[in-house]
A and B are shown apart, each in its own frame.
Chain A
Amino acid sequence: MTIQGWILIFVFVGILLALAKPVGLWLFTLYEGRRTPLHAVLGPVERGFYKLAGINPDEDQSWRRYAVHMLLFNAVLLVFTYAILRLQGILPLNPLGYAGVSDHLAFNTATSFTTNTNWQSYGGESTMSNLSQMLGLTIHNFLSAATGIALAFALFRGFARREAKAIGNFWADVTRVTLYLLLPICIVYALVLIANGVPQTMAGSVDVTTLEGVKQTLALGPVASQEAIKMLGTNGGGFFNANSAHPFENPNAFTNLIQMLSIFVIGTGLTYCFGKAVGNTRQGWAILTAMMILFLAGVTITYWQEAAGNPILHQLGVAGGNMEGKEVRFGIAASALFAVVTTAASCGAVNAMHDSFTALGGMIPLFNMQLGEIVIGGVGAGIYGFLLFAILAVFVAGLMVGRTPEYVGKKIEGREVKLAVLAIAILPLIILGFTALSSVLDAGLAGPLNKGPHGFSEILYAFTSGVANNGSAFAGLTANTPYYNALLGIAMWLGRFFIIVPMLAIAGSLAAKKHHAESAGSFPTTGGLWVGLLVGIILILGGLTFLPSLALGPIADHLAMIRGQLY
């Protein structure tokens, strides 16, 4: 580890904390449906969309209606992208002449982008036409992100409203977030990326005669426009197979810093927005503090392990940290930091190959996802996932002191706790179930590239990434098979919507409740005790559930690495 590396990490955290309030205030304006300066330009677009789509943005929806409209919209989007991918062979803007995508891959990819996962069973530059990238995939990057933020708003309203029947309007939330937050940032962001060397062209590729006289074909395309929303919307599906490790996606250390910041910036702002919505910004800061503790612990372990390197290679006369799968321009620190950021959030973009990380360095990204990506988390999904844990934490605190638990003025009762447990339980159920299944079936065992414990880690990582809607991979796994495409597609769908529906039910149930002013008997949910309790609950739940699987995979791998055991 170097001082320069730690400076990068602390500068990153510093910029993020400085952005929390301004971004949070902007989000709060959208949460409330108030006018922004951008309405002067984009207001007519918003009103036009409502008019053409027959939407009344002032219609307040019950949680059921909110949920049904959200599900139906996502189903239509899924079918839309499936159709584009299947038909890409006969559609325009296909400079490299790629054929239609196979049915199982199209299902997997459409599900993946709808659920904000962006798992890549395909190599972007060798599978997707420019039209598929733009019309099939970029659109989901915006709308799955906007859906996530809309859902977070709905849950915030559940906490903030008193004796109310409704939690907002889904269509208005999605449209406003897209028009007044995601799109304007992405336009500026994409231009910065282009200036730094990210291509933005309709050409499919360019032929180069290298200095040694060999022909090299470089894939190009409208990369920057997709790259911007890929990061900002915590989507993570790269234009190229190598994702943000590819020089055309992430050409230098400056774009790398921006990419990492843009993964976290909305999630961080949402913690502030939550505090603002419930009338006490300290509630938001407490959440952010707990997240940052978990984050920095993860960064420390991964950075330390990657900098220490692989003792097996050291014996061969190779010096220094683990550079397998890493780019020289980022080095160890920026690669380790990126890996922890992308898995703490549900982004899944990678600037280094997680599969080639040291055993424990790669375990932290895995563990981050197993916790449910609640450390900042995906846009919207992170904060609503975290609030489910907060509900459990006040419940546990209530049990200890023998009082009805309360959180930000709302009594937490049996119904909310049951729903929260239901939502949280889906993660281990599917991850462990599908991993176990794939560890015994031939179709599952055909997947891993690496043998031994690391091969098991590849399977475990895939289902963890799918259910948690991350999208990064231990990419040695050959996942573009009917078996993995189908199973991972199902895992992604369940992991997204089987959390969202109980979460919206909680929002509806909370909105209907009375507000209780904080009294001397309330358990405070702002101080150090609360932050400690939150971190403890998250680690105990996550740790106890997944420790056995981690022991079989990364921990066994680590012990083998120390002994010099090869597979």
Chain B
Amino acid sequence: MGKDIATALRPAFALTILFALLLGLAYPLALTGIGQLIFPNQAGGSLIEENGKVIGSSVAGQAFTSERYFHTRPSAAGKGYDGLASSGSNLGPTSQALVDRVKTDVETRRGEGISGDLPADLVTASGSGLDPDISPEAALTQVPRVARVRGLTEDNVRALVERSIERPFLGFLGENRVNVLALNRQLDQLGANKPE
């Protein structure tokens, strides 16, 4: 036993240092270099710039609460879409807090004139709190409100939503979805824009 320990000391310490240099420094730093070189946009967070200002990431979601925009999902990340505190609500299926929150959100949607069953994603918090997408159904239920506030025809706005639907990759990977930031940017370009 004593000899087993004695023979292990040098390899244990030496390999810790060597692997730390290789796996802890060389590997991530080399990848950072290569990544920045080949895919500079993605490696930097897929940022979108407009007039020299960074307005968001095409990958991560941001909050939309104004009447004039399509809304993203409820978020449990910090106070909502906090990019430094990603999180789900972690509320379980029999949680009073979950039911209270959903009830409030359902009532808000009803107040916007949405009737019938609500798409689940519209009133549930995502896993990350930074979900960039909503379902096409969740977008379509918001068409009347957005059209009214912006003074656009519903057909115009609905057509925009339908153009924005991303389909599953190869037909089975992923779900039908709408990237809310992309949709709202196009909405801003649709014209007939009446700021309040």
Contacts and interface: CB of A to CB of B under 8 A. Distances in A.
Interface residues of B, number: 104
Nearest to A332: B175
Interface in B166-183: 168-169, 171-175, 177, 181
Nearest to A61: B4
A11 B18 CA distance: 40
A199 B169 contact: no
A356 B92 contact: yes
Interface string B64-97: 1110010001000100011111111111111110
A403 interface: no
A2 to B, nearest CB: 10
B162 interface: no
B152 interface: no
B160 interface: no
B55 A218 contact: no
Interface bracket on A: 35 or more
A123 B62 CA distance: 20
A318 B45 CA distance: 34
B15 A49 contact: yes
A103 interface: no
Given A64-B4, A245-B126, A318-B106, A356 B89 contact: yes
A72 interface: yes
A320 B16 CA distance: 51
B144 interface: no
Contact of B85 (A73, A125, A212, A359): A125
A316 B34 CA distance: 51
B94 A212 contact: no
Given A242-B86, A454-B94, A73 B120 contact: no
B196 interface: no
Contact of A450 (B24, B85, B92): B92
B5 to A, nearest CB: 6
A78 to B, nearest CB: 10
Interface in A178-220: 178, 183, 186-187, 190-191, 194-203, 205-212, 214, 216-220
Interface stretch (A276-284, A307-315, A538-546): A307-315
B81 A216 contact: yes
Given A49-B18, A53-B15, A210-B62, A245 B128 contact: yes
A356 B90 contact: yes
A359 B91 CA distance: 12
Contacts of B113: none
A449 B92 CA distance: 9
Contacts of A355: 88, 90-92
Interface centre among B57, B77, B131, B172 (most CB of A within 10 A): B172
A68 B9 CA distance: 10
B128 A194 contact: no
Interface string B33-77: 011101100111111000001111111111111100100010001
A164 interface: no
B118 to A, nearest CB: 5
A316 B19 contact: no
B11 A53 contact: yes
B161 interface: no
A245 B31 contact: no
Contacts of B15: 49, 53, 55, 73, 171, 174-175
B98 interface: yes
A494 to B, nearest CB: 21
Nearest to A320: B120
A328 B69 contact: no
Contacts of B5: 68, 72
A182 B90 CA distance: 33
Contacts of A186: 27
A217 B173 contact: no
Given A11-B172, A68-B4, A253-B169, A76 B12 contact: yes
B133 A328 contact: yes
Interface centre among B12, B82, B92, B132 (most CB of A within 10 A): B92
Contact of B90 (A197, A226, A325): A325
Interface in A353-401: 353, 355-359, 362
Given A143-B19, A475-B88, A557-B93, A216 B106 contact: no
Contacts of B42: 194-199
A222 B19 contact: no
Contacts of A285: none
Given A196-B42, A352-B127, A325 B88 contact: yes
Contacts of B98: 324, 356
Given A53-B11, A316-B103, A323 B121 contact: yes
Contacts of A183: 22-23, 27
A194 B35 contact: yes
A188 to B, nearest CB: 11
Contact of B102 (A69, A138, A316, A450): A316
A203 B56 CA distance: 16
Contacts of B185: 211
A334 interface: yes
29 contacts: A53-B10, A68-B1, A73-B16, A76-B12, A76-B13, A125-B86, A196-B42, A197-B46, A199-B44, A201-B45, A210-B56, A210-B62, A211-B55, A211-B62, A211-B64, A211-B184, A218-B57, A219-B83, A246-B86, A248-B59, A248-B60, A257-B173, A318-B102, A328-B73, A328-B175, A330-B175, A353-B90, A451-B96, A454-B93
Interface of A: 4, 7-8, 11, 45, 49, 52-55, 64-65, 68-69, 72-73, 75-77, 80, 123, 125-126, 134-136, 138-139, 142-143, 171, 174-175, 178, 183, 186-187, 190-191, 194-203, 205-212, 214, 216-220, 222, 224-226, 240-242, 245-248, 251-254, 256-257, 309-310, 312-313, 316-331, 334-335, 350-353, 355-359, 362, 449-454, 457, 474-476, 557, 560-561, 565-567
Given A252-B174, A322-B93, 6 more contacts: A11-B172, A53-B11, A68-B1, A217-B84, A256-B174, A323-B120
Q: Which 10 A-B pairs have the closest CB atoms?
A: A253-B174, A245-B127, A476-B90, A53-B14, A353-B88, A218-B83, A242-B86, A135-B24, A454-B92, A319-B117
